[in-house]
Amino acid sequence: MNHDSSMVNSYRPGSAALTVRQQDLIDRRERVLGSAYRLFYERPIEIVSGQDVWLFGPDGERYLDAYNNVVSVGHCHPRVVQEIARQSAVLSTHTRYLSELVLDYAERLVATMPAALSQVMFTCTGSEANDLALRIARKHTSATGIIITENAYHGVTDAVSQISPSLGPGVNLGSHVRTVPVPDPSMGADAGAVFAKSVAEAIADLQRHGYQPAALIVDTIFSSDGVMPYVGPMLTAAVDLVRSAGGIFIADEVQAGFARTGDTFWGFQRHNLVPDIVTMGKPMGNGYPVAGVVVQSEVVARFGNESRYFNTFGGNSVAMAAAGSVLDVIENQGLQQNAQAVGIAFAEALRQVQSGDSRIDAIRQAGLFIGVDLVHPGNDRNADRIFASHIVNRMRDNGVLISATGRHGNVLKIRPPLTFSLDHVSVFIHALLASLATAQ
Ligand SMILES: Cc1ncc(COP(=O)(O)O)c(C=O)c1O
């Protein structure tokens, strides 16, 4: 079986000694799940339960979860669990009947956005949301060209795998797709101009090959590109160029959305612009599969007139109850404010570690989304993927779960549930210092 993949932090057989049980579970997975799945960590972990920011193994081992943004209000949050159970006992059906449930949630969701983003279509996964967004974009623009970032990830359907270069060289990008590099946020105001220049070149190249641009789509925190939270209007000039060439702007909020970035509820709001389409998923149901597309009414008009849309499970009654309870918890527990305050303190604590360790380069943070560059010490400060992998695995050994990301795989990706507290930050820093000490 081919275990090599472009995925950073994927398990490779033989890289560490496993218990009999771990090996048995891995063998069973390979037999029955086949060759496409990947596990995290040199020594994969078995999880049997979760509670808030903690995950538990079969023998009571406890891991601090500093990585999962799906359960963004905490593992098994009692209110979400209760709402899913309650609604399951009342009704679970689809969007072809009149029901207030889906309308109540849709109205609540669009109320979190600028007024122009006024209509919602529900899916079950982020991939489906992006797939639908591409179809809407093509109908609206009568064009097919798509511009994405260099190491983007937008999902797994046939159409969106073609705009997901982070899946690696084994997955072809479409001939209608062009990639642009994500500039370094430390460039400040220049980052926007640099990005716009790359987008202009991509538009010109698409046109030279007979494609008009349908859309620029970005993950608004550029997570697979290395976690790039910009301050200021980094995307504005590029979005203007795409729009004047007839295309639209799609904000993929699967990673950044639902209060994660602290200062705003949606990642695109940090860029101070209004997308034509916003796609979302992961944290929307705190683990219940619910995702969707929010779109400007005139952008979806032609699609709506010419195609019918129905998604059997998208927007089902239980999904709406789960998603509604997630909004309740974010509001009631002040989780956006918590992400903002704890995120700042977390970055500050990381900077203190950085001041004593020259292998830590830039630390980029927005709310509870943090990227930490690990580099070879010395003048060149080149990306150190092997060291990043080492730290991710030692953190795991020390009971804290994170991963790595970015084109060079050297960026520690720290993205805990939004209930993370200062005490959890202390546990994290303690484990990080111990992990760094294992490789001097
Ligand atoms: C930015 C982004 N878009 C889309 C997706 C796809 O979402 P899903 O796995 O729910 O299909 C992901 C998943 O990791 C993602 O990170």
Q: Give the Cα separation of 410 and 413 in Å (integer).
A: 9
Q: Give the Cα separation of 340 and 367 in Å (integer).
A: 5
Predicted pLDDT at 6:
60
Q: How confident is the model at residue 2 (pLDDT cuts 50, 70, 90)?
A: very low
369 CA to centre of own chain: 10
Mean pLDDT of 92-111: 97
Q: How confident is the model at residue 233 (pLDDT cuts 50, 70, 90)?
A: confident
Q: Give which of 187, 164, 332, 316 is closest to 259, Cα–Cα.
A: 332
With a 6 A CB cut-off, is 254 part of the ligand 1 pocket?
Answer: yes
With a 6 A CB cut-off, is 257 part of the ligand 1 pocket?
Answer: no
Residue 61, pLDDT > 70, answer: yes
The DSSP bridge partners found for residue 280 are 292
Mean pLDDT of 393-414: 97
**Sequence letter at residue 349:** A
- Give the rounded percent of residues in the chain with a pLDDT score beyond 90: 92
What pLDDT, in 10s, does the model give residues 163-200?
999 999 999 999 999 999 999 888 988 999 999 999 99
Predicted pLDDT at 13:
85
What pLDDT, in 10s, does the model give residues 324-358?
999 999 999 999 999 999 999 999 999 999 999 99
Predicted pLDDT at 192:
95
Q: If you measure from the C-alpha of residue 288 to the centroid of ligand 1, how many angstroms do you get, rounded to a whole number?
A: 14
Q: Work out the mean pLDDT of the chain and round it to a whole number.
A: 96
Residue 124 CA: nearest ligand 1 atom is 10
- Give the rounded percent of residues in the chain with a pLDDT score beyond 70: 99
What pLDDT, in 10s, does the model give residues 192-232?
999 999 999 999 999 999 999 999 999 999 999 999 998 77
Farthest-apart Cα atoms in the chain, separation: 65
Residue 3, pLDDT > 70, answer: no
Over the chain, what HEC string results?
CCCCCCCCCECCCCCCCCCHHHHHHHHHHHHHHCCCCCCECCCCCCCCEEEECEEECCCCCEEEECCCCCCCCCECCHHHHHHHHHHHCCCCCCCCCCCHHHHHHHHHHHCCCCCCEEEEEEECCHHHHHHHHHHHHHHHHCCCEEEEECCCCCCCCHHHHCCCHHHCCCCCCCCCEEEECCCCHHHCCHHHHHHHHHHHHHHHHHHHCCCCEEEEEEECCCCCCCCCCCCCCCCHHHHHHHHHCCCEEEEECCCCCCCCCCCCCCHHHHCCCCCCEEEECHHHHECECCEEEEEEHHHHHHHHHHCCCCCCCCCCHHHHHHHHHHHHHHHHCCHHHHHHHHHHHHHHHHHHHHHCCCCEEEEEEECCEEEEEEECCCCCCCECHHHHHHHHHHHHHCCEECEEECCCCCEEEECCCCCCCHHHHHHHHHHHHHHHHCCC
With a 6 A CB cut-off, is 153 part of the ligand 1 pocket?
Answer: yes
**Burial class (CB within 10 angstroms; exposed 0-12, middle 13-18, buried 19+) of 274:** middle
Residue 411, pLDDT > 50, answer: yes
What pLDDT, in 10s, does the model give residues 136-156?
999 999 999 999 999 999 999
Predicted pLDDT at 268:
97
With a 6 A CB cut-off, is 219 part of the ligand 1 pocket?
Answer: yes
Buried b / exposed e across 349-367, counting CB within 10 Å, b at 16+?
bbeeebeeeebbbbbbbbb
Residue 125, pLDDT > 90, answer: yes
Q: How confident is the model at residue 289 (pLDDT cuts 50, 70, 90)?
A: very high
Question: pTM for this one?
Answer: 0.97
What is the rounded radius of gyration, in angstroms, for the C-alpha atoms of the chain?
21
Q: Give the Cα separation of 292 and 288 in Å (integer).
A: 13
Q: How confident is the model at residue 14 (pLDDT cuts 50, 70, 90)?
A: confident
Residue 4, pLDDT > 70, answer: no
* Residue to substitute in 6, 72, 127 for testing ligand 1 pocket (most ligand atoms within 8 angstroms of CB): 127
* Residue to substitute in 217, 252, 254, 405 for testing ligand 1 pocket (most ligand atoms within 8 angstroms of CB): 254
With a 6 A CB cut-off, is 346 part of the ligand 1 pocket?
Answer: no
State both tokens at 378. Answer: 């010395």
